[in-house]
Amino acid sequence: MRLSLRRLAVFAALWLAACGEEPRVLPLPTPARSDLVVLVAPGPLTYAEGEGGQPTGLEVDLIRAFAADLGVEPRFIPVGAGEIPARLDQGQAHFAAAWYSPDPQTEAPAATAFASSRDVIVQHEASLPLEAPGDLAGRQLHVLAGTRQAQTARRLSETVPGLEVVEYGAGGAVELLEAVAGRRVDRALVDSATLAVALQFVPSIEATLELPQEHPVAWQFGKRFNPELKARSAAFLERARQDGSLARILDRYLGHVRRLKNGDVVRFLERKESVLPRLRRHFLAAQNSSGIDWRLLAALAYHESQWDPEAVSPTGVRGIMMLTEETADHLGVGNRLDPRESIEAGARYLATLRDQLPAAIAEPDRSWMALAAYNLGPGHFNAGRTLARQLRADADSWYELKRILPLLAQPKYYERLKSGRARGGEAVILVENIRSYYDILVRHEPARFLVAETPAPDRKRLSPAAR
């Protein structure tokens, strides 16, 4: 019955819209009445279909949390950003998520902001840089229809002679940036946060000019909306801001994306094509025995050794997973320079570190903490968690812990700990870089490689990609 009532509410609004009648505002969703219906514009920070067809994205996670707060289920309807105003006016959804900023000159204030960003002009890295908006005179500037950047570009065209604003119609934000990288488009105006994420996948573009105004990012309500729902969303976001859950969601998608340089991404992509194919079967075998996503293992191995099975460091760690002699002996590794042995042992070690973490630590933080322990050793890592509790930080949150671990190198902090000094800052850098490498592999390596022939019987499969 509940499902029928939910469908009836949405279908009724769609039927009224099709008949050209004024639809009623969708009622406040309740457990007995309806889902939270949200229009979503696909993009790196809004909505994408993850593996298994499950929606993923920063705004998706935030909406899920809001729906849970209301006690209902979210229902996502993917649409183009340009379609959103009309669909909202037709009562097809409660609100929309499109990394949206209202136009202060023409629109009423939006819902409570949960983030902010700027507009950035991007070009191919080989293009001559722009020093001021006036340099756009007589040139084309591509934008996505229905976005804040489309409004900004049209406003620029009123003051910059000969500036032609072109709406890009062959895809979303990533596709537009790929068109710039492929020189099918000369330049584009995009969102700064979206660009930061996309640079992990499209390295041959460059932010040539960032416009100074900072814009709030919020959910988009139509001209007619449910005032109680809007008030509930504002209260939810305020609580999320105060309890740190909003900061953790933002960090999950944006906390690591500006660390790699363009050259780092280019080299990684090149070695993904030239070196990874020879090693993939070893990572897949290690996934089967450890339950850890092979792409996470591959990202770790790349950071450790650049996928060089014969790598040796000045401190004596060796092999593709850079195992110490003590760790290798403990894991029964006969030859650290054998990539199969090294990868298998590194995966088992990482799985052990993960399994030792308290059950309260959820993914993806569980993966990131296991990686930090892999770098620091469990003694120093647990000392970092102890220090976090002493400083009244959340030791179960990677967002909190990555601010604490660098303190392990400071005498005023490590002198109070049994384990002594540690290079906690290096562990944070390792984890954040691996997160970026992992994101790249998730985007480029198809899910069919994740099928395991003999799943590990006693381990839960680790999937930080399902964020």
Domains of the chain: 2-113+217-254 (3.40.190.10), 119-213 (3.40.190.10), 262-450 (1.10.530.10)
Annotated active-site residue in 178, 304, 341, 400: 304
Helix (H, G, I), strand (E, B) or coil at 86: helix
Tokens of 147: 């976005």
Strands 119-124 and 187-191: antiparallel
Tens digits of pLDDT across the chain (467 residues): 444 444 545 554 554 444 455 556 788 898 877 899 999 999 999 999 887 788 999 999 999 999 999 999 999 999 988 899 999 999 999 999 999 998 766 665 568 999 999 999 999 987 888 899 999 999 999 999 889 999 999 999 999 999 999 999 888 898 999 999 999 999 999 999 999 999 988 888 989 999 999 999 999 998 888 899 999 999 999 999 999 999 999 999 999 998 898 899 999 999 999 999 999 999 999 999 999 999 999 999 999 999 999 999 888 889 999 998 888 999 999 999 999 999 999 999 999 999 999 999 999 999 999 999 999 999 999 999 999 999 999 999 999 999 999 999 999 998 988 899 999 999 999 999 999 999 999 988 865 454 444 333 344 445 564 44
Contact between 237 and 112 under an 8 Å Cβ cutoff? The reply is yes
Q: Which two tokens stand for residue 205?
A: 């573009």
CB atoms near residue 391 (< 10 Å): 13
Q: What is the DSSP string of 44-83?
A: TTTBEE-GGG-EESHHHHHHHHHHHHHTS-EEEEE--GGG
- Can you tell me the distance from the alpha carbon of 230 to that of 95, in angstroms, rounded to the nearest whole number? 9
**Paired strand residues for 124:** 205
Compute CA distances 441 → 174, 201, 293, whole Å: 16, 10, 11
DSSP run (H or E) holding 267: helix 262-274
Residue with tokens 């959804």: 93
Secondary structure percentages of the chain, helix, strand, coil, to 5: 50, 15, 40
Cβ–Cβ < 8 Å for 268, 299? no
Q: How far apart are CA 89 and CA 26, in angstroms?
A: 11
Task: For residues 60 and 406, give the distance between their C-alpha atoms in angstroms, rounded to a whole number.
Answer: 31
Cβ 173 vs Cβ 188: under 8 Å = no
Distant-in-sequence contacts of 54-61, Cβ < 8 A, 24+ apart: 54/466, 56/465, 56/466, 56/467, 57/253, 58/249, 58/250, 58/252, 58/253, 58/254, 59/97, 59/99, 59/219, 60/97, 61/249, 61/252, 61/467
Q: What is the pTM of this model?
A: 0.85
- Bridge partner list, 47: 43
Distance CA 100, CA 97 (A): 7
| pLDDT at residue 81 in the model | 86
Report the pLDDT value the prediction gives residue 128, as an integer from 0 to 100. Answer: 81
Q: For residue 336, give the nearest of 380, 304, 368 by alpha carbon.
A: 304
Q: State how far the Cα of 34 lies from the Cα of 73, in Å rounded to an integer.
A: 8
Give the Cβ contact number of residue 48 at 10 Å: 18
Helices 294-305 and 424-444 pack at an angle, to 10 degrees, of 130
Q: Tell me the C-alpha distance between 302 and 280, whole Å.
A: 12
Cβ neighbours of residue 273 closer than 8 Å, sequence gap 6 or more: none
Start-to-end Cα distance in the chain: 31
If DSSP codes are grouped into helix, strand and coil, which group holds residue 110? coil
| 304 catalytic per annotation | yes
Instruction: Kindly state the tokens that stand for 401.
Output: 């812990």
Rg of the chain over Cα atoms, rounded to whole angstroms, equals 24
Residue 429 amino acid letter? I
Query: Which residue in 81, 73, 6 sits closest to 40, CA to CA?
Result: 81
Tell how strand 74-78 and strand 36-40 pair up: parallel
How far is residue 148 from each of residues 42, 43, 89, 198, measured CA to CA in Å?
Answer: 15, 14, 19, 18
How far apart are alpha carbons 128 and 42 in whole angstroms?
Answer: 31
Sequence-distant (6+) residues with CB within 8 A of 82 are 145, 146
